Amino acid sequence: MGRPVMGAEGDIAGEARRRRTFAVISHPDAGKSTMTEALALHAAAISEAGAVHGKAGRRGVTSDWMEMERARGISITSAALRFEYHGHVFNLVDTPGHADFSEDTYRVLAAVDCAVMLLDAAKGMEPQTMKLFEVCRHRRIPVITFVNKWDRPGREALELLDEIEERTGLRPTPLTWPIGTAEGFRGVVDRLDDRIVLYTRTAHGATRALETELSPDRAEAELGADWIRASEEVDLLGAIGADHDQKRFEAHESTPVLFGAALSNFGVARLLDVLVGLAPAPAPRADVDGALRPLDAPFSGLVFKVQANMDRAHRDRIAFVRVCSGRFERGMVLTHAATGRPFATKYAQSVFGQERSTIDEAHPGDVVGLVNASALRPGDTLYEGQAVEFPPIPSFAPELFATARVRDTSKAKQFRRGVDQLDAEGVIQVLGSDLRGDQAPVFAAVGAMQFEVVQHRLAAEFGAEIVLDRLEYSLARRTDAASAEILRRQRGAEVLTRRRDQALLAVFSDQWRMRSIQREHPELTLDPLIAGESPREV
């Protein structure tokens, strides 16, 4: 049965109650990485915030550690930040800021208990925003909405609330309400604590914004028409019942809404307080059979991310593990559910962007980095004692395909090693082809930028420059051996083997061609890669 969980039952439960494990998600350019940095700043985890676009006097974003991320000013991989705030342990998992890396976002959402959705005040509900809301609904993840960039020209606050409700079905319940129009942001009415807060920006937004609490009389005297309008709108919100209901929030029926500006650090401290007060703590997690794993059961954890070469000096590989139950202790020997083999945890770390420190213990909700975890893949389960396995994290149906060849054949060994590494991380799906052989694997991607990342990393980390030749396929379906024999004789179709699990994938030039083949051969097995879900969920 393994070693008993140390400490009383209430010890594990108490530690779990202190945890808040959440992701920051958004449409590209809504300010996600800036918000991540601002949250860490307000929690005193860093002394000075960086900006994605690098204003003078501000340094690079903590969570964007990859060279390509710093050069382009976007997040293209997930990163974990762990810090403490008001007696609580925050595990903030930053997600990629580009739709081409939506698989990475999906993996992160498998490991969190809550999400903070950023909306651009001028753009409102954008395509990626809608898809992310839908993923959170499907996974039953409560969402806190933060309307960002309220210090710039934008839309009416009431109009944004109507759009959120109309397009997501969630009831928006503002916790704060802006004083002043979007470009003339003065402060907020805090509806939860019945306060009026005036914001004063600091130079470049590099330090915390100053906050001054005002009485209604002083607000009217200093803010004039802006205050009168805001107070009237707050009265309207109360009249229509747009008040926070914790049960409806946790049931994914409503979304609390805050207004602010991450770049100026307006409203960021209030968001941290809301996460402490309203975001759900870790709860028992369902295994593959639907049974709930109690928090005080022996240790179990879900691998949701694998990343190599974060530390260029050591060329190591780190697996990010969400603790689901029990107490993790560095050095404990766990069981890898996928293989049944033992897994030692001698090198366990707490991660803050690219920075790391040794961690001796962790509790439900924490994210632990296991170094040199060459056997682990995203979706794997680790456990101690009674066997458990959590549902795997599905792969998306790729839409882009290309053959890869190493430019210098003397680098073939490095090329193969790099391809194996990126496949294990889930950076790209690697497929085998009988027509092309092992020297020219087929890369399958959701978005074109995945190809750019693969080319960059193979050259920078493995010294293997590659040439990519795009294939004229745009659709993939899971098939079987009998169907594969028929499909290999069809024009506009090909059968490939996914290296990770040896699944047979049928790829087609387009949907019309697939349907034409199906009409001729109705006995074919052609299943979506993600059962019951959209092929491109986010």
User: Which residues make up each annotated binding site for GTP?
Assistant: 94-98
Question: How far apart are the C-alpha atoms of 37 and 263, rounded to whole Å?
Answer: 9
The kind and range of the H/E element at 350 are: strand 348-352
Lookup result for tokens 């409700």:
165
- Let me know if 317 is exposed, middle or buried by CB neighbors in 10 A (0-12, 13-18, 19+): buried
User: What is the three-class DSSP state of 193?
Assistant: coil
- End-to-end C-alpha distance for the chain, whole angstroms: 40
The 10 Å CB-count burial string (b at 16+, else e) for 172-197 is bbbbbbbbbbbeebbbbbbbbeebbb
Question: How far apart are the C-alpha atoms of 145 and 25, rounded to whole Å?
Answer: 10
- Let me know if 509 is exposed, middle or buried by CB neighbors in 10 A (0-12, 13-18, 19+): middle
Alpha helices per DSSP H over 3-42: 9-17, 32-42
Residue 26: count of CB within 10 angstroms of its CB: 25
Annotated binding site: 94-98
Question: How far apart are the C-alpha atoms of 417 and 413, rounded to whole Å?
Answer: 6
Q: Give how far Cα 338 sits from Cα of 294, 302, 320, Å.
A: 21, 12, 16
Q: Which residues contact 276 (CB under 8 A, 6 or more apart)?
A: 20, 85, 86, 88
Amino acid occupying residue 530: I
Strands 400-406 and 442-445: antiparallel
Q: Which of 372, 374, 379 is nearest to 305 (CA)?
A: 379
User: What is the three-class DSSP state of 116?
Assistant: strand
| Beta carbons of 493 and 520 less than 8 angstroms apart | no
Q: Which tokens is 366 given?
A: 């924490």
Taking phi over 0 as left and psi of -120 to 50 as alpha, with beta for the rest, 366 belongs to: beta
| Beta carbons of 81 and 94 less than 8 angstroms apart | yes
Question: Which residues face 81 on adjacent strands?
Answer: 92, 352
